Structure 1
Amino acid sequence: MTIKIAFIGFGGVGQALAELLYTRKEDLFRLYGLNTQVVAVSDVMKGSVYHPEGLDIPTLLQEVKQTGSVSSYPDQPGLVKGWDSMETIEQSNADMIVEVTFTDVETGQPAIDHCKRAFRNKKSVVTTNKGPVALAYHPLAELAKENDVYWGFEGTVMSGTPALRMPYTSLAGNEISEIKGILNGTTNFMLTEMEKGSTYQDALAKAQSLGYAEADPTSDVEGYDVRYKAAILANYVMGYPLPSNEITCKGITELTQADIKEASTSNKRWKLLARVKKEGDRVTASVQPELLDSDDPLASITGPTNAIVYDCDMAGEIMLTGAGAGLTETGYSLLIDIIDYHRTKAPLIVHEEDA
């Protein structure tokens, strides 16, 4: 059977996934029996296009590159243009909504409403938006369960590095008492540059020039990005309803070159760490700079790399490290979820043309 996909949002991450679905199409079918068809794209800036029998991915990508819009997709019988995101979710024949809109992480919108509308219309969702998982995990997970649909969000913590899937697969059966990690590549890159002698401002400027930091770096340097990721780990992995605003949060803005040098003379390193810990029947979390001994595995993580450590009762400490950002990596995180969806929910779906 063919999984019909609608993109809600079609920026760099969405385009990266579309490219992967096209270039890896034969391998995905050969290895997993996965066959996909993009039937719709709806983007608040790039317009929208829908065809129930599928859209040509190279043409979509070419139109975006040349015109900045999907609305210039060539007209053909059955093609519909102009639907907004909600119309696309409700009226398209998609089985799977790829939700990759620009979302306000403080409110989780519009991604939360997109997930709700999709679930209520019996459509599955994969997303890289942190807001819905950090702010509304339990009600959204319950809504997905009620409607027997799939919700995937692997890319919300460490992009294409499977930080969420690993504890549920490879570490199954363990009780995880603590999770700690370096979950923001921008700040880790900046701290590495400061260890090389750069000032805070020079390290930030370099991070911005390389595309690691936004023009407004507040979410990264103040630790807010990591706080939402810690909330996701608490809610999803630990199963505890911990609101993100209850997580202690401090960024790296007060660290100076003198602090970095002093740590080095003591054979230590500063790292911005997230910690999520079970304490009896509660779970607590914090985000703050911490001094680590140089022989701590997390101390060796440099540059924009991310790492996470699971403290397990049987397996001991297990560390996973990899890229925490990047268009291809984040697009791949969505592909991980689509493959998992195919293995679990998709065999139950039959389209008329497949019958």
Structure 2
Amino acid sequence: MTTKIAFIGFGGVGQSLAEILLERKEHLEEMYGLESSVVAVSDMMKGSIYNPEGLDTNELLKCVRESGSVETYPDSPHILKGLTSIETIQQSNADVIVEVTYTDVHTGEPAITHCKTAFENKKSVVTTNKGPVALAYQELSLLAEKHGVFFGYEGTVMSGTPALRMPELTLAGNQITEIKGILNGTTNYILTEMEKGQSYEAALLKAQELGYAEADPTSDVEGYDARYKAAILSSCIMGAPIAHTDVECEGISSITGEMVQQALKEGEKWRLLARIREENGEMKASVKPERIKDHDPLAGVSGATNAIVYECDLAGPIMLTGAGAGLKETGYSLLIDLIYYQKQKKLAKI
């Protein structure tokens, strides 16, 4: 049975998923039984279009790239344009909502409302938005379960690197006693550039020129991005919800070139580390710069790369490393969730 998809948000990440679904169409159908059809798109800047019979994805991408709007898509008797995001979720015949809007990480909106609306209308959701998972994981998970639908959020921590799916499935049976990792590629890039002799200011400017850092880099360099991810890991992997505001947080803006070079002389490196662990029966989480020994596996992680270590009681320390950002990689994280959705559907769980 064809899985009907509605995109809420159709920026670079949404378009990347659409491309992947086109490029891998035969493979996905043959290997996973995932036959998909895009039926709707609603984007604040690019407009809205809905066809219950399915849209031509090639034509859709062409319209967006040539005109910046999905509403230049050719008209036909079945096509409806101009629906809001909420109306698209409520009125479309989509099975899965791909929620990839820009989200306010302080409120989780509009993504939290999008997720709730989808679940209440018995539609599954896959998302890369940190806000809903960091701020409302328990509420949304329970709502999805109540309505018998799927909630996928693999891309919220390390993009296409399966930081959530791997411990849930591959490390099943272990007790994970601590999670620690480099969860922000921008800050890791800056620190490794400083190891080469660059000042903090010069390394940040280079990161901005390469597109790793935003014009306003506060969320990255002050540790806020990693703090949301630490809250997600605590909720999803450790089973202990922590408010992101309760995660001890310190960024790298106070780290000087002299501090980095001194650490190198003493056989150590600075890394911005997130840690989630149990202390005296209570889950604690922190994000702060730490000096770690040169031989620590995380010290060898350089550039805009992410890495995470799961301390397991049976398997020992397991490290996963990979890209923590990128349009294709983040689009792939949504595909991971769609494949898992398809497996769950086969098992008649949704």
Q: How does 1:128-139 map to 2 (within 5 A)?
A: 128-139=128-139
Q: How does 1:278-293 map to 2 (within 5 A)?
A: 278-293=278-293
* Cα shift at 1:175: 0.3
Counterpart residue number, 1:212: 212
Deviations 1:41-79 (A, max 9, x none): 000000000000100111111111100010111101110
Counterpart residue number, 2:23: 23
Counterpart residue number, 1:9: 9
Deviations 1:127-184 (A, max 9, x none): 0000000000001110011001000000000000000001111100000010000000
Tell me, what secondary structure is at the counterpart of 1:71?
helix
Deviations 1:304-354 (A, max 9, x none): 01000000000000000000000000000000000000000366499xxxx
Any conservation in 2 of the 1:307–1:321 contact (CA below 8 Å)?
yes
Counterpart residue number, 1:125: 125
Deviates more, 1:226-235 or 1:277-286: 277-286
Go from structure 1 to structure 2 and tell me whether the alpha carbon gap of 1:349 and 1:292 turns closer, same or farther (over 3 Å shift): closer
Q: How does 1:202-351 map to 2 (within 5 A)?
A: 202-345=202-345, 348=348
* Cα shift at 1:280: 4.2
Deviations 1:286-320 (A, max 9, x none): 00000000000000000001000000000000000
TM-score by length of 2: 0.99
Tell me, what secondary structure is at the counterpart of 1:122?
coil
* Cα shift at 1:4: 0.2
Any conservation in 2 of the 1:305–1:324 contact (CA below 8 Å)?
yes
Letter in 2 for 1:257: G
Q: How does 1:3-152 map to 2 (within 5 A)?
A: 3-152=3-152
Any conservation in 1 of the 2:148–2:349 contact (CA below 8 Å)?
no
Letter in 1 for 2:249: C
Counterpart residue number, 1:199: 199
Letter in 1 for 2:281: D
Letter in 1 for 2:340: D
TM-score by length of 1: 0.97
Taking the aligned partners of 1:281 and 1:25, their CA distance within structure 2 comes to 48
Any conservation in 2 of the 1:155–1:334 contact (CA below 8 Å)?
yes
Deviates more, 1:328-337 or 1:193-202: 193-202
Q: Which segments of 5 or more consecutive residues in structure 1 lack a partner in the other structure?
A: 351-355
Counterpart residue number, 1:353: none
Aligned pair 1:166/2:160, yes or no? Answer: no
Deviations 1:198-229 (A, max 9, x none): 11111011101111001110000000000000
Count of equivalent residues: 350
Letter in 2 for 1:182: I
Taking the aligned partners of 1:51 and 1:114, their CA distance within structure 2 comes to 20
Tell me, what secondary structure is at the counterpart of 1:345?
helix
Tell me, what secondary structure is at the counterpart of 1:86?
helix
* Cα shift at 1:282: 1.7
Taking the aligned partners of 2:345 and 2:246, their CA distance within structure 1 comes to 35
Taking the aligned partners of 1:145 and 1:282, their CA distance within structure 2 comes to 27
Identical positions, percent: 64
After the TM superposition, list the runs of 4 or more consecutive aligned residues in structure 1 that deviate by more than 3 angstroms.
346-350
Taking the aligned partners of 2:172 and 2:349, their CA distance within structure 1 comes to 28
